[in-house]
Amino acid sequence: VRDIYEQSKSPIVLIGEERLPQKLKRFERFHGRIMEWAQAQPINVQDAMALNRHYAPEVTIEEDLLKLLVAEAKGSARRMVTNIDRIAKFSVDEGLATISASQWGSRPIHTGQAPKERAF
């Protein structure tokens, strides 16, 4: 990555997991060139609305359902997009241009939780 920077003199954006800054400390010549550290912020309802418009423009997810999704996704944009995709597919199948929390009902919401162990 440093070679790319040296040749291009262009800024490079690194996106990684929470421990990326600590892992890069081992490489002082690289670490010392980082101009700014910024952490991703958890998504909010306005972000969720923007994701809805981008990933599923054919379906409007109402604010009540988006609020529920934001809470269940615990700030994860990846989980939010997964849920928007599921809801959009359901809405299209059902012929809905708009969907609310009551219309979604008790259908599952992707939270990232691993399934519970099965009892044998």
Instruction: Average the pLDDT over 67-74 and give the result.
Output: 95
Catalogue the E-assigned strands of 5-52: none
pLDDT at position 95 over 80: yes
80: confidence class by pLDDT, cuts 50, 70, 90: very high
pLDDT confidence of residue 116: 83
Residue 4 has pLDDT above 80, yes or no: yes
**What percentage of the chain carries pLDDT values higher than 90?**
60
Measured CA to CA, the distance from residue 17 to residue 15 in angstroms comes to 7
**Secondary structure of residue 98 in the 3-state scheme:** strand
pLDDT per residue as tens digits for the range 16-62:
778 888 998 998 888 888 888 888 889 999 999 999 999 999 999 99
DSSP state, 73? H
Give the pair of three-digit tokens for residue 25.
């400390």
CA dist., res. 56 & res. 87, Å (int): 9
